Structure 1
Amino acid sequence: MNNKSQKRNDFFEEVAETSTSYITKVDRNGYVEYVNPAAKKVLGLSENDILGSSYND
């Protein structure tokens, strides 16, 4: 990854981690790959409980 791409990635990671909004990233099959702290709080679940779960279930 080049420096510009890394800086952009770091910026978006910081935004997601500090946001008070619920943010998740799912793969094309509907499985959760990322969950931010606000989403964990809203759901009342740990990261381990959420990651790998499916929106299709």
Structure 2
Amino acid sequence: MYWNTNEAMKVMEEVNRQVPASMNATVLQDAEYAIGGQTQQNLDLQNMRQKILRVRQPLC
């Protein structure tokens, strides 16, 4: 697997959904956590870019 591919980003999106769900209703439910790595960084940048583009769209 190449770690900077769309496939890898889809895996990280799933990890980002599953981690908080698996911590819920456990002693870790209020714990802070971080997910790192090159693919996660790329996914974070992609998500920030999408948010910026939504904010910058002109109002009609």
TM-score over 0.5 for the alignment?
Answer: no
Please give the range of the TM-score, normalised by the shorter of the 2 chains: 0.3 to 0.5
Q: Which one scores higher on RCO, CA 8 angstroms, separation ≥ 6?
A: 2
**What TM-score do the two structures reach when normalised by structure 2?**
0.31
